[in-house]
């Protein structure tokens, strides 16, 4: 008997996070029509987030680490679906050699990528369009968003994307979720089921 692999797509806000994450974390399609569909889907999911009182900041802050690793590894392997000219620009600003073996740049550029993700136009972010070398170099001078803000968006990502799979959660999200649980237990007058908070 063949095993059936079933992918369960969550409902409600979890579904929005799931579809948004899936759309962002895929290579740019090789046809203009499919690339446009990808961007359209991402923008539609951002609009759906807004209907739930959230903003594109979920993408800018909550998904920044994931996008950075996806983009940088895709550039190294040349499996991101970008035109060669854009791959070359990313390689140039990241300082990646052709063989991709020198990874000394990685941690510093993850930090810079997060700053870029918070300030880039939405089209540049979801289209993986690199900034100029000067813009990239100047990102080290720009302040990083307050860590508590970033951690809140990461918590939202973990909460709605990974749900009960706590092994996939960031440590900061686990701490935040535990803190919220304790706050709800200590304030029973809120009369809100605990499962709605954590």
Residues 6+ apart with CB under 8 A from 88: none
Q: Are the C-beta atoms of 29 and 80 separated by less than 8 Å?
A: no
Please tell me the distance from the alpha carbon of residue 103 to that of residue 97, in angstroms, as a whole number: 9
Longest dimension (CA), the chain: 61
pLDDT tens for 48-78 read 999 989 999 999 999 998 998 888 888 888 7
Task: Judge whether residue 3 has pLDDT over 50.
Answer: no
Determine the 3-state secondary structure of 108 from DSSP: helix
User: For the whole model, what pTM was predicted?
Assistant: 0.76
Please tell me the distance from the alpha carbon of residue 6 to that of residue 3, in angstroms, as a whole number: 9
């Amino acid at each position: 008997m063949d095993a059936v692999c079933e992918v369960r797509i969550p409902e409600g806000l979890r579904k929005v996070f799931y579809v948004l994450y899936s759309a962002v974390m895929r290579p740019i399609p090789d046809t203009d029509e499919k690339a446009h569909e990808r961007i359209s889907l991402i923008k539609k999911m951002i609009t759906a987030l807004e209907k739930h009182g959230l903003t594109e900041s979920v993408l800018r802050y909550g998904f920044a680490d994931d996008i950075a690793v996806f983009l940088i590894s895709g550039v190294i392997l040349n499996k991101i679906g970008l035109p060669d000219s854009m791959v070359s620009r990313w390689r140039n600003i990241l300082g990646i050699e052709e063989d991709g073996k020198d990874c000394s740049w990685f941690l510093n550029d993850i930090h810079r990528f997060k700053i870029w993700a918070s300030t880039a136009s939405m089209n540049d972010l979801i289209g993986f369009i690199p900034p100029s070398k000067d813009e990239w170099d100047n990102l080290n001078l720009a302040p990083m968003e307050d860590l508590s803000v970033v951690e809140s968006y990461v918590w939202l990502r973990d909460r709605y994307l990974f749900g009960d799979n706590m092994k996939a959660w960031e440590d900061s999200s686990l701490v935040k979720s535990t803190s919220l649980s304790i706050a709800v237990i200590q304030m029973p007058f809120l009369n809100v089921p605990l499962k709605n908070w954590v």
